[in-house]
């Protein structure tokens, strides 16, 4: 493996340990585990970005003939992720408060003690390979959690989540061959800052969670097989407000129901609230449920928001996400529907 890549991996491990002990709350006031994970992932990304930036600076001095290529790679990275880097550090600062500045200085000192000796071993070929990697990273070809944390921390994408999708930072999921898809083939695009996960329940083919898996927003693809392909009359009954209300009559409330079309098929759109109870825990959600029927399959795209702060906060979040939600739903393709 290229020594420069090994160096970045080493920094990732170092900074995670340092920040975990310097920033994480003491055991007596321990935050929920998900917050510790956010700190770890943000820390990895901070270390990765710092190592890359400093390496570019040092290599420019060591290989002056490669300065144009180094500057170009740096410009491409800055254009894509400079604001996101600042966003990552701001989030770490928010977690660490007054401890962050002191922690940051100590970490930088540790990094510098390793960076220069390591980079001094770089050959011209290694540097060229490294620059090619930086250019690919600028296009979004990044490992997790760096990709998710940078995109989720970009101030523009935080303010307007749909911009991440519109800019092209998307992945494509295909249900072809998936055990839970029940033979249904579909593809759908999703924002790369949302972490893709397998789900436990049998009807959930795939799910995504915002903020690299640490957020309070969830998107799921659900597929259920119907007993048979519905007749025209049965199909019409599936796209009525009364049917929509029945789907959320267990702890839920239908706020609105509208219809549209997607992939040349009728589309149902339900805005809802729901209270889910498990043991002695009760969770309130605000969501949007899109559904259609393809042959004998009921296909649903469900978005749920768990934002804390009551119904008003959840409503604000859903409105902020709505352009992104529509973009994701509109990316759905059913290849077999065109045969």
Q: What is the pTM of this model?
A: 0.86
In the chain the domains, ranked by start, together with CATH numbers, are: 3-159 (no CATH), 167-338 (3.40.1000.10)
3-state secondary structure the chain: CCHHHHHHHHHHHHHHHHHHHHHCCCHHHCCCHHHHHHHHHHHHHHHHHHHHHHHHHHHHHHCHHHHHHHHHHHHHHHHHHHHHHHHHHHHHHHHHCCHHHHHHHHHHHHHHHHHHHHHCCCCHHHHHHHHHHHHHHHCCCCCCCHHHHHHHHCHHHHHCCHHHHHHCCEEEEECCCCCCCCCCCCEEEEECCCEEECCCCCCEEEEEEHHHHCCCEEEEEEEEECCCCCCHHHHHHHCCHHHHHHHCCCCEEEEEEEEEEECCEEEEEEEEEEEEEECCEEEEEEEEEEEEEECCEEEEEEEEECCCCCHHHHHHHHHHHHHHHHHHHHCCECHHHHC
**In this predicted model, what pLDDT tens digit does every residue of 52-111 receive, in sequence order?**
999 999 999 999 999 999 999 999 999 999 999 999 999 999 988 778 888 888 888 887
**In this predicted model, what pLDDT tens digit does every residue of 121-153 receive, in sequence order?**
889 999 999 999 999 999 999 999 999 999 999
**In this predicted model, what pLDDT tens digit does every residue of 265-285 receive, in sequence order?**
999 999 999 988 878 888 899
């Amino acid at each position: 493996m290229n020594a420069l890549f090994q160096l970045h991996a080493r920094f990732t491990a170092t900074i995670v340990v340092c920040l975990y002990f310097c920033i994480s709350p003491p055991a007596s006031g321990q935050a929920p585990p998900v917050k510790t994970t956010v700190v770890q992932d943000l820390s990895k990304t901070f270390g990765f970005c710092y190592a890359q930036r400093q390496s570019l600076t040092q290599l420019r001095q060591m290989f002056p003939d490669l300065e144009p290529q180094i500057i170009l790679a740096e410009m491409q990275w800055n254009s894509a992720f400079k604001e996101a880097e600042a966003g990552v550090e701001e989030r770490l600062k928010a977690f660490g408060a007054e401890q962050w500045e002191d922690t940051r200085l100590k970490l930088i000192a540790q990094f510098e003690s390793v960076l220069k000796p390591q980079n001094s071993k770089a050959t011209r070929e290694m540097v060229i390979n490294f620059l090619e990697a930086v250019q690919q990273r600028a296009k979004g070809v990044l490992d997790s959690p760096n990709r998710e944390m940078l995109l989720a921390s970009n101030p523009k994408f935080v303010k307007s989540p749909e911009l991440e999708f519109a800019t092209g930072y998307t992945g494509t999921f295909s249900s072809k061959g998936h055990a839970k898809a029940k033979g249904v083939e579909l593809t759908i695009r999703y924002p790369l800052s949302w972490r893709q996960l397998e789900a436990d329940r049998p009807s959930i083919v795939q799910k995504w969670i915002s903020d690299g898996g640490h957020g309070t927003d969830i998107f799921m693809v659900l597929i259920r097989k119907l007993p048979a392909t519905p007749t025209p009359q049965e199909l019409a009954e599936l796209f009525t407000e009364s049917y929509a209300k029945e789907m959320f009559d267990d702890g839920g409330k239908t706020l609105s129901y509208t219809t549209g079309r997607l992939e040349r098929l009728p589309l149902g759109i339900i805005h809802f609230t729901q209270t889910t109870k498990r043991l002695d825990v009760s969770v309130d959600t605000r969501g949007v449920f899109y559904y259609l029927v393809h042959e004998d399959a009921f296909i649903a795209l469900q978005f749920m928001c768990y934002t804390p702060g009551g119904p008003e906060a959840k409503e604000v979040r859903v409105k902020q996400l709505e352009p992104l939600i529509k973009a994701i739903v509109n990316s759905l393709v059913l290849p077999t529907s065109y045969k």
